[in-house]
Structure 1
Amino acid sequence: MDRAQNTIALICLVFLKLTMVVSGKILEETYRKWVQYKEDCSKMIDNEPPPQVGLFCNKTFDRYACWPDSPAGFIVNISCPYYLPWYDKVSQGVVRRRCGSDGLWVRDDRGEVWRDMTQCEEEKEVASHELWVKQLMVSFRMLYTVGYSTSLSTLIMALIILLSFRKLHCTRNYIHANLFLSFILRAAAVIVKDTMLDRHWGREILKQDDVSEMLSHEAAIGCRVAQVIMQYCVLANHYWFFGEAVYLYSVLIASVFIDNNKYLSYICLGWGTPLLFVVPWTVVKIMKENKECWAVNENMNYWWIIRFPVLFASLINFLIFMKILKVIFSKLRASNQNRYPDYKLRLAKATLTLIPLFGIHEVIFIFATDEQTTGVLRYIKVFFTLFISSFQGFLVAVIYCYANKEVQTELKRKLRSWRTETEIVCCGQ
């Protein structure tokens, strides 16, 4: 019973606290160090001979610290355990126990062995800051969950509309439909990935074996698969942005006729290109960083396998965006006195319309990488990235489907047709 209580005490002190303030990576490292600490203590208990004279309290490992044989009537001080994540801040501190005059470890009013570990606890200021960061990240997660859920529902309906009306079937709308589908898959993948992470790290811990099982490779397979699918969907989403930019450039500037055969090249670009990067990244993760749910990038060089194609597509999109705006501006300015007196307003409208279509928002933080952003700037970047990315699908669906005059015309025609058929049926009866 005492062993179980000590186990639960350790878990409450370290593992449950870690789930509030640190990542799975630190939880795993802490557990590994704790196992090593326990093994070192077991060797000490087995090899160190007991005192030859006098009463003493037996050496023991209480799941928190390792205690040597101690003379009766004394308080024993030992260094804070080195497995604590904040050990560098409490390395000079000690944890204490009292050995009673009867040669037994002194117990408190609850009947548990008394132990003073206040010097080994994390500083309150640091703990409160980490709790604030945790609450902030929870708020961010709620934000993008709402954003992706909203985008998911509106995009599904928009995709159904584009595919349902025959008159809307053309290369432009096919590319729009694939962009919508990439948004849908991206939103679903993010939601599934978060669910798998919760399932992996949110398991109830009742004994040491639960921690060992939670950190096993078998338990992490599900969230690793979800992580790979999410990376593929994110890349596919960016390369359908790229496809949209290339198509618009070919129509407005290159004046290239897009036939059905060339539509296949857009399929390869949008759905095939991500495989060229996700597959090598997966192989590298398995061989070099096969830990937990692959959510942490220890070696940022490996992360460039995913980051590079995103930055490349974003930069090319931005260049195409500027080129198209230049063409639109020159045409509107040339006709501003006749057909387009409000050319500045039309240019602004065209600009705001193209930004979500090309994913230009990615350029805002393109050079502010994860390694370079710290403190408040990092939180600002995370907020805007999550907000824009999660609600972008909703914005794209509204602009290119619900607010599209061609789509509205077809919907009105279908509604009139439905009303006419209903009236005929009613009159016939």
Structure 2
Amino acid sequence: MAGHGVMQHGRNICTSRKKTSRKAGRQYEQRNGYILHTQGPVDSRARMDANGIFSLLLLCSVSELCVLASPEGNDSQQHHTQNVYHDIGVTRNTIVTAQFECYQKIMKNDKHNKIGPVCNRTWDGWLCWEDTEAGFTTNQHCPDYFQDFDTAEMASKVCSETGNWFLHPESNRTWTNYTKCTAYTSAGRVTAMNLYYLVLIGHGLSLTSLFFSLGIFFHFKSLSCQRITLHKNLFFSFVLNSVITIIWLTAVANNQGLVQSNPVSCKVIMFIHLYLFGCNYFWMLCEGIYLHTLIVVAVFAEKQHLMWYYLLGWGFPLIPALIHAIARSYYYNDNCWISSNTSLLYIIHGPICAALLVNLFFLLNIVRVLITKLKVTHQAESSLYMKAVRATLILVPLLGIQFVLFPYKPQGRFALEIYDYIMNILMHYQGLLVATIFCFFNGEVQGVLRRHWNQQRIQFGSNFAHADVFRSASYVASSLTEVHRCYSIDGHTEHMNGKNSYHDVETVTPTILRSDNPFA
């Protein structure tokens, strides 16, 4: 929570508003590293009656009135103070709700099955503690009331051998150990900021590399073919996902006031983010289906219709995104849908994992066909296809490994920190990885860039040696072979149908040579 506040049995819910800092509401003393609650021991069963319930309900109403009050002053100070009071009020309401639920449990008077002295269930001001056997220490996760409380840490309460809750020697009052809740707060903040900037840098690098790749694909017309068209759509999906992720992190997740106000716009951004997240993986599936159709069932298709790929890549991810949005609004409608602690996310992750498994099956089947049927008779053709498959075969496991590691989240602090770094790198540097493998490491792209570079040297470098001209010509010849690969793969090179593969060389090469600018 953004604000701070604590209730001591509901008695100080409308405390003085002299302090307007975010720690204004805390009512505890800190001595020698321990947090001491200011109330004494409470016999909750004896004191809690119908009047107590009525008092709590009255205090809840009064707390809402306290939140509505605002001090006089200039606009900026008034707005800041209102935000502080709102944060404190939200925290207090949360605590009062937890307190009310705890007292309901206390009033049930359920008979415990424990033998011997027992520390009775109690409310300590922040958490509700169940009946505990004498001589035992009970633990539960730290509350999420305050920013500097780490909910992954544990608060503890000791039941003495006599069946009474532990009394701190300095205050002689019941004491709950909340020290671990703030013990690693500073280190946690540093890690959180490091991860935040790591994610932003990852998406920044991804956008830069993707824009360069798209520029190459659109500028050089010789790269135009169906496979490159699929690459373009895949890159566009990663570009849009990176843009919406940066907007989400900077404008929503980093703005606690916006999250607390819970506007519809932030939920729309999350919906778009989850939709584009699915598009990334379904366009990868399109890449696998295209290659599988081209190589395994090429005899049945001369040229593929890309409309079906557009429907799968851009259309199908809308279905799980819409189902998730409807389910989230009914069953887990948290602020801005920012929480990941819900099984409803499997509506998004389930189809993605299925797409990854299907893609992996297609690619392994392609490799099987290339090895068993093409290796002996058409060694060169097999090598050409293998290069086309290799990039996708590498990317699918890399893009899906996060879903394999997700269930195995470690518990130790150091191990968890390493896990978070690895997961964030795998998730937020995918655009850079895709651009590198599908474009920068692509032999066709390298050949076109090499040819274009040598043309520029010939055009603007009149003082180059004669040998350089011949070397440039050799580069042109080799690059034409690279360009032919794109055409030959899209045209299936007719090897699978028993036709002469040199026919494409004779038709494609003269067309390129007749162009006024064969390198553009």
- Secondary structure of residue in 2 paired with 1:268: helix
Aligned to 1:388: 426
Aligned to 2:44: none
Aligned to 1:151: 206
- Secondary structure of residue in 1 paired with 2:21: helix
Amino acid paired to 2:142: W
- The 3 A distance-change label for structure 1 pair 13 and 171 is farther
Tell me, yes or no, if structure 1 residue 164 matches structure 2 residue 231. Answer: no
Contact map agreement 1:356 1:392 (CA 8 A) in 2: no
Aligned to 1:314: 356
- The 3 A distance-change label for structure 1 pair 232 and 79 is closer
- Map Cα deviations across residues 336-369 of structure 1 (whole Å, 9 max, x no partner): 9x879xx9xx97x888633344x22354454555
- Secondary structure of residue in 2 paired with 1:5: coil
- Map Cα deviations across residues 296-338 of structure 1 (whole Å, 9 max, x no partner): 14541x22211111111011011112212223344686479x8
Deviation at 1:423, TM superposition (A): 7.0
Deviation at 1:285, TM superposition (A): 1.8
1:39 to 51, 59, 67: 59
- Map Cα deviations across residues 262-311 of structure 1 (whole Å, 9 max, x no partner): 111111110001111111211222222222121214541x2221111111
- The 3 A distance-change label for structure 1 pair 361 and 170 is same
Contact map agreement 2:402 2:427 (CA 8 A) in 1: no
Cα distance in 2 between the residues matched to 1:186 and 1:135? 26
Q: How does 1:49-64 map to 2 (within 5 A)?
A: none
Cα distance in 1 between the residues matched to 2:61 and 2:125? 11
Cα distance in 2 between the residues matched to 1:37 and 1:258? 74
Aligned to 2:309: 266
- Secondary structure of residue in 2 paired with 1:3: coil
- The 3 A distance-change label for structure 1 pair 350 and 410 is closer
- Map Cα deviations across residues 184-233 of structure 1 (whole Å, 9 max, x no partner): 112222211111234432x5xxxxxxxxx862333xx3332221111111
Asked which structure has the greater RCO (Cα within 8 Å, sep 6+), the reply is 1
Aligned to 1:185: 240
Q: How does 1:194-213 map to 2 (within 5 A)?
A: 194-201=249-256, 203=257
Deviation at 1:3, TM superposition (A): 2.4
- Secondary structure of residue in 1 paired with 2:17: helix
Aligned to 2:397: 360
Aligned to 2:125: 81
- Secondary structure of residue in 2 paired with 1:312: helix
Query: What value does the CA root-mean-square deviation take over the aligned residues?
Result: 4.3
Tell me, yes or no, if structure 1 residue 222 matches structure 2 residue 260. Answer: no
- Identity among equivalent positions (%) equals 22
Amino acid paired to 1:269: L
Aligned to 2:69: none
Amino acid paired to 2:212: M
- The 3 A distance-change label for structure 1 pair 90 and 407 is same
Aligned to 1:406: 444
- Map Cα deviations across residues 364-385 of structure 1 (whole Å, 9 max, x no partner): 4545554x63425765654433
Cα distance in 2 between the residues matched to 1:144 and 1:325? 35
Contact map agreement 1:148 1:391 (CA 8 A) in 2: yes
Aligned to 2:345: 303
Contact map agreement 1:152 1:187 (CA 8 A) in 2: yes
- The 3 A distance-change label for structure 1 pair 166 and 11 is farther
Tell me, yes or no, if structure 1 residue 327 matches structure 2 residue 369. Answer: yes
Cα distance in 1 between the residues matched to 2:323 and 2:21? 42
- The 3 A distance-change label for structure 1 pair 149 and 401 is same
TM-score w.r.t. the length of structure 1 is 0.64
- The 3 A distance-change label for structure 1 pair 369 and 150 is closer
Deviation at 1:253, TM superposition (A): 1.2
- The 3 A distance-change label for structure 1 pair 118 and 369 is same
In structure 2, list runs of 5 or more residues that go unmatched.
1-14, 28-55, 64-88, 97-121, 129-140, 144-154, 159-164, 463-520
Cα distance in 1 between the residues matched to 2:325 and 2:424? 24
Cα distance in 2 between the residues matched to 1:38 and 1:329? 77
Aligned to 1:373: 409
- The 3 A distance-change label for structure 1 pair 138 and 199 is closer
Deviation at 1:237, TM superposition (A): 0.3
More displaced 10-residue stretch of structure 1: 325-334 or 191-200: 325-334
- The 3 A distance-change label for structure 1 pair 244 and 364 is same
- The 3 A distance-change label for structure 1 pair 420 and 354 is same
Cα distance in 2 between the residues matched to 1:132 and 1:325? 48
- The 3 A distance-change label for structure 1 pair 117 and 313 is farther
Aligned to 1:285: 328
- The 3 A distance-change label for structure 1 pair 86 and 248 is same
1:236 to 279, 292, 296: 279
Aligned to 1:30: none
Aligned to 1:19: none
Cα distance in 2 between the residues matched to 1:190 and 1:257? 39
Contact map agreement 1:140 1:386 (CA 8 A) in 2: yes
Aligned to 1:5: 18
Larger radius of gyration: 2
- The 3 A distance-change label for structure 1 pair 309 and 214 is closer
Amino acid paired to 2:397: I
Contact map agreement 1:227 1:294 (CA 8 A) in 2: yes
Cα distance in 2 between the residues matched to 1:369 and 1:391? 17
Q: How does 1:136-147 map to 2 (within 5 A)?
A: 136-147=191-202
Point out the structure with the larger helix share. Answer: 1
Amino acid paired to 2:244: A
- The 3 A distance-change label for structure 1 pair 11 and 310 is farther
Amino acid paired to 2:284: F
Aligned to 1:47: none
Cα distance in 1 between the residues matched to 2:177 and 2:20? 18
- Map Cα deviations across residues 6-43 of structure 1 (whole Å, 9 max, x no partner): 453645759xxxxxxxxxxxxxxxxxxxxx79825959
Cα distance in 1 between the residues matched to 2:336 and 2:278? 19
- The 3 A distance-change label for structure 1 pair 246 and 4 is same
Deviation at 1:387, TM superposition (A): 1.5
